[in-house]
Structure 1
């Protein structure tokens, strides 16, 4: 009888630990989703947020401030909830993630921040069942590489950083049908950084980082310089955004140098030329940039060396080449994830700021205007609070247990 009870407990424990729905963290401890709208179960940064084919959003791994994570979450636009899904086989942060043409998600490389350090391992996520499968590793371990899906369905990965912190000048491609990797000719310069590469309508892949942008020609497998060094702004870029415009041109904004942070430029793949456009009003780096349904570009959040972490948002009109201000974010965010949802709203996820540290919150940003927050959305906040659209909400009196009457009146509080 005792052995039967032990066996039953063993099976139950096995089911608890390995259940896809439990979403174990990298430290082996499962954490239930909070059930609060737009709230992650775990704060995350250094993580790719990937839009799934059915409109959901996948967050895989990342860094919670203490360790690399294996746990994963999925955002459901219809309910506004994040929920845990199957965990990756390997904890990782600073990795790349892309959606394959068949709807699966490929994550590759990154680091665990400890032994074995930088990773060459690769996994594939199947959204229909919420599980991960390991595939062949890359030929080289890479932290923070640049990755794009080519028109033929293969994945091109370039650059990144090795285990000794050295920037890599190499590239390789993944073949989804076989699950294998093959090296390709190396770029002329080191490459890397999430979101720093796009595929042009001409079929070439444009990589923009450092001082010299480059093109990878899918037809020939060769690299070529994309314009003069430094582009039209004549500057090195890191911590910038690279956005493919609806007309096929590419908008590059911001970066870590004074010149980069305060400039924007456009690359035309048809002519191979860079041109300066109007500068945004706020210099920034480590921001998010997304294309709206109307074809404009929203540049959101980020940071600046003097202003700190930003909540400001600006809109770029590709037709006029001009910028206009847009309603600010609810929270200041640097390094947020940002994706356009099926209803046209923009989902801002995570990031960090000086006050809250790593952010566990998300927010839906309406690209056409601002929807004021309600007192309920502010949870326990009372008194006059900002509504996120430049106005104030009056959320009722603030009640303080045992407050002295004179002190309460002076501070606008109500005695219970």
Structure 2
């Protein structure tokens, strides 16, 4: 048998090693992607988008429909383009991200694979260098935790789920100066979900998720119930939005149950009470929400459990407690993120829908005048219903089984 020279084997082995070592990580192809205005270099969902101190927007990790990502990119409002930046040290999705007082961004937890998993790892992004630095891990792995920046600069992370998808009833505090974690008093109930915690003006933080909202006292580190179980709507909320209003109250909209998706409520920290407000025209979950420069709240997209991803947009006026219809999105979006730009426009980014799948395209949304809602958009509506702009719609007749009495006819009901 012919022998192969050892020198040839050495060269071949060296070439193999260097060719493998030089190959890019599976999700780092974004560096060679062609930048298109408003389009992400890599379609992604299941991640937080963070506005940096200079107005740029950071997208770190997430999921592209097939794999969990380590790649990151930054949106530049001046050019309307997304640019690649340093990759995370560990790919993750369903993680939490918080901008620290010094401008850096802390990313914690999440998961790496679709199967049950959770990460304890944490790292910090420096916008000046575009690089990530690993810091001390949390005391326990957390998938989809709730995280919030406290007024004193610390970061409180609460709840989430463990590697077996069991809800966690624990919390811990991150100290940016040392890059370390210390235990915090555990909440009374399991917590979780990005964007479900907001800082109030009384030195407390409201966590509104699940069946019982709670308050965290920054000074004492103690937790207390925030209102009655289930709030004013009496329902469990997940997949909802929690928005702090300019007057200090908090608006909670939608969710994954039929009752939650079709209701909205306000929390008043001065009274500690939840109050039901007018219901939005379109039930929704997994939507985006933000406060405009005028102080109104835009609720954008999301999904309805019977019709799928939505283009519907509605505007809530905190002064009147009423909703009005706003111009629709260009395409349906669920699991997208909305950010207010300096010029008052809204940047919609990421998400997915049934027609396209993962969405790499973004949208620059300009809040306009009122657009009347249709009967088709108001799923299940019948009879005379408000059109969201001060007018009235005449939808299909309302049917009630075995209703043939005069009171039924007086209310516009027809026997089936």
Normalized against structure 2, the TM-score is what?
0.83
2:389 matched to which residue of 1? none
Superposed counterparts of 1:160-199, under 5 Å? 160-199=160-199
Q: What SS does the corresponding residue of 2:229 show, helix, strand or coil? A: coil
1:359 matched to which residue of 2? 359
1:223 matched to which residue of 2? 223
Is residue 90 of structure 2 the alignment partner of residue 84 of structure 1?
A: no
Q: What SS does the corresponding residue of 1:259 show, helix, strand or coil? A: helix
Deviation at 1:139, TM superposition (A): 0.5
Contact in 2 for aligned 1:26/1:68 (Cα 8 Å): no
Looking at structure 1, the residues matched to 320 and 105 of structure 2 have their Cα atoms a distance apart, in angstroms, of 36
1:47 matched to which residue of 2? 47
Q: What SS does the corresponding residue of 1:260 show, helix, strand or coil? A: helix
Question: Alignment RMSD, CA only?
Answer: 2.4
Q: What SS does the corresponding residue of 2:239 show, helix, strand or coil? A: coil
Deviation at 1:198, TM superposition (A): 0.4
Deviation at 1:309, TM superposition (A): 0.8
Deviation at 1:131, TM superposition (A): 0.3
The higher radius of gyration belongs to: 2
Structure 1 gaps, min length 5: 18-23, 371-416
Contact in 1 for aligned 2:262/2:283 (Cα 8 Å): yes
Superposed counterparts of 1:194-205, under 5 Å? 194-205=194-205
Looking at structure 2, the residues matched to 180 and 260 of structure 1 have their Cα atoms a distance apart, in angstroms, of 38
Deviation at 1:367, TM superposition (A): 2.3
2:319 matched to which residue of 1? 319
Looking at structure 2, the residues matched to 359 and 29 of structure 1 have their Cα atoms a distance apart, in angstroms, of 17
Deviation at 1:27, TM superposition (A): 4.4
Deviation at 1:344, TM superposition (A): 1.4
Deviation at 1:35, TM superposition (A): 1.8
Looking at structure 2, the residues matched to 13 and 263 of structure 1 have their Cα atoms a distance apart, in angstroms, of 54
Looking at structure 1, the residues matched to 115 and 207 of structure 2 have their Cα atoms a distance apart, in angstroms, of 30
1:398 matched to which residue of 2? none
Contact in 1 for aligned 2:117/2:164 (Cα 8 Å): no
Looking at structure 1, the residues matched to 111 and 272 of structure 2 have their Cα atoms a distance apart, in angstroms, of 35
Normalized against structure 1, the TM-score is what?
0.83
Superposed counterparts of 1:221-300, under 5 Å? 221-300=221-300
Superposed CA offset, 1:225-270 (max 9, x none) = 0000011111111110000001110000001111111110000111
Q: What SS does the corresponding residue of 2:259 show, helix, strand or coil? A: helix
Is residue 206 of structure 2 the alignment partner of residue 206 of structure 1?
A: yes
Superposed counterparts of 1:151-162, under 5 Å? 151-162=151-162
1:64 matched to which residue of 2? 64
Looking at structure 1, the residues matched to 248 and 115 of structure 2 have their Cα atoms a distance apart, in angstroms, of 42
Superposed CA offset, 1:32-77 (max 9, x none) = 2322111111110101100000000000000011111000010001
2:136 matched to which residue of 1? 136
Contact in 2 for aligned 1:25/1:69 (Cα 8 Å): no
Compared with structure 1, are the counterparts of its residues 27 and 58 closer, same or farther at alpha carbon in structure 2 (3 Å cutoff)?
closer
Compared with structure 1, are the counterparts of its residues 238 and 186 closer, same or farther at alpha carbon in structure 2 (3 Å cutoff)?
same
Deviation at 1:13, TM superposition (A): 9.9
Looking at structure 2, the residues matched to 275 and 40 of structure 1 have their Cα atoms a distance apart, in angstroms, of 39
Q: What SS does the corresponding residue of 1:281 show, helix, strand or coil? A: coil
Compared with structure 1, are the counterparts of its residues 166 and 334 closer, same or farther at alpha carbon in structure 2 (3 Å cutoff)?
same
Looking at structure 2, the residues matched to 30 and 310 of structure 1 have their Cα atoms a distance apart, in angstroms, of 28
Deviation at 1:31, TM superposition (A): 4.5
Contact in 2 for aligned 1:122/1:138 (Cα 8 Å): yes
Q: Which consecutive segments of 4 or more residues in structure 1 shift more than 6 A?
A: 10-14
Looking at structure 2, the residues matched to 133 and 267 of structure 1 have their Cα atoms a distance apart, in angstroms, of 38
1:108 matched to which residue of 2? 108
Compared with structure 1, are the counterparts of its residues 362 and 276 closer, same or farther at alpha carbon in structure 2 (3 Å cutoff)?
same
Contact in 1 for aligned 2:244/2:251 (Cα 8 Å): yes
Looking at structure 2, the residues matched to 369 and 80 of structure 1 have their Cα atoms a distance apart, in angstroms, of 25
